């Protein structure tokens, strides 16, 4: 049986942990966006964000002050997702399809058209191979530099550039075929 995780802080550590926690809270929207790209499912994305935050809080001593917290968190998320997909493969689990009615009932014809366009992009990204999907999400959606994204994915920058180029080309080809 696992014991509950407890934080033992000295007075000096308390302030830095509080700072890290507040920065993690500020990163939640970006973490959720990346999780949705990785998982392609809202419920799985929420679970992945929770797991990522838990792992980060347990391992705050591993974060190097002066380095980018978002890159560190993205790397934790990527590794957590790899662990989860391996576990699902072993269990033979199937991913649940995305709910088609997630945006039903919101007002505005222009807003609806924008949501439909965003949905087309989201679906096109979801159809990319995982390597390209991650590269597109980190660089184009999250705005990381090529170097930072390559570090998160733990690949050479040239590999990231290649994946990003192929992902962009596939997205553009698919979105140009889209009726909207």
Looking at residue 161, which CATH number applies to its domain? 1.10.10.10
Q: Are the CB atoms for 67 and 96 separated by under 8 Å?
A: no
Query: 19 with 86, same domain?
Result: yes
pLDDT, tens digit (0-9, with 9 covering 90-100), for 20-29 = 888 899 999 9
pLDDT at 91: 65
For residue 75, give the CATH number of its domain: 1.10.1740.10
In this structure, is residue 46 part of a structural domain?
yes
Last residue of a domain, one of 26, 59, 92: 92
Residue 112 has pLDDT above 90, yes or no: no
Query: 39 with 87, same domain?
Result: yes
**pTM, whole model, 2 decimals?**
0.55
In this structure, is residue 4 part of a structural domain?
no
Query: 166 with 130, same domain?
Result: yes
In this structure, is residue 99 part of a structural domain?
no
Query: 84 with 40, same domain?
Result: yes
Among 70, 59, 83, 66, residue whose Cα is nearest residue 29: 70
**Helix (H), strand (E) at residue 43:** helix 42-58
Structural domain that includes position 176 = 110-180
pLDDT at 10: 38
Cα 115 to its chain centre, rounded Å, is 20
Lookup result for tokens 């290649």: 162
pLDDT, tens digit (0-9, with 9 covering 90-100), for 41-65 = 889 999 999 999 999 989 888 888 7
Q: What is the rounded distance in angstroms from the CA atom of residue 29 to the CA atom of residue 26? A: 7
pLDDT, tens digit (0-9, with 9 covering 90-100), for 72-95 = 999 999 999 988 888 877 665 444
The total number of structural domains that make up the chain: 2
Among 58, 69, 71, residue whose Cα is nearest residue 20: 69
Last residue of a domain, one of 60, 92, 124: 92
Section 124-150 average pLDDT: 88
């Amino acid at each position: 049986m696992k014991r509950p995780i407890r934080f033992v802080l000295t007075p000096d550590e308390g302030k830095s942990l509080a700072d890290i926690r507040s920065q993690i809270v500020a990163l939640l929207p970006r973490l959720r966006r990346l999780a949705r790209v990785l998982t392609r499912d809202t419920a799985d994305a929420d679970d992945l964000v929770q797991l990522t935050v838990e792992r980060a809080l347990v391992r705050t001593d591993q974060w190097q002050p002066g380095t980018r917290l978002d890159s560190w968190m993205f790397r934790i998320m990527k590794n957590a997702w790899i662990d989860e997909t391996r576990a699902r493969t072993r269990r033979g689990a199937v991913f649940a399809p995305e709910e088609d009615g997630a945006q039903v009932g919101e007002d505005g014809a222009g807003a609806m058209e924008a949501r439909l366009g965003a949905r087309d992009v989201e679906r096109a990204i979801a159809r990319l191979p995982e390597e390209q999907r991650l590269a597109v999400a980190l660089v184009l959606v999250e705005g990381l530099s090529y170097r930072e994204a390559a570090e998160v994915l733990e690949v050479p920058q040239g590999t990231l550039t290649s994946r990003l180029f192929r992902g962009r080309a596939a997205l553009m080809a698919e979105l140009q075929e889209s009726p909207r």
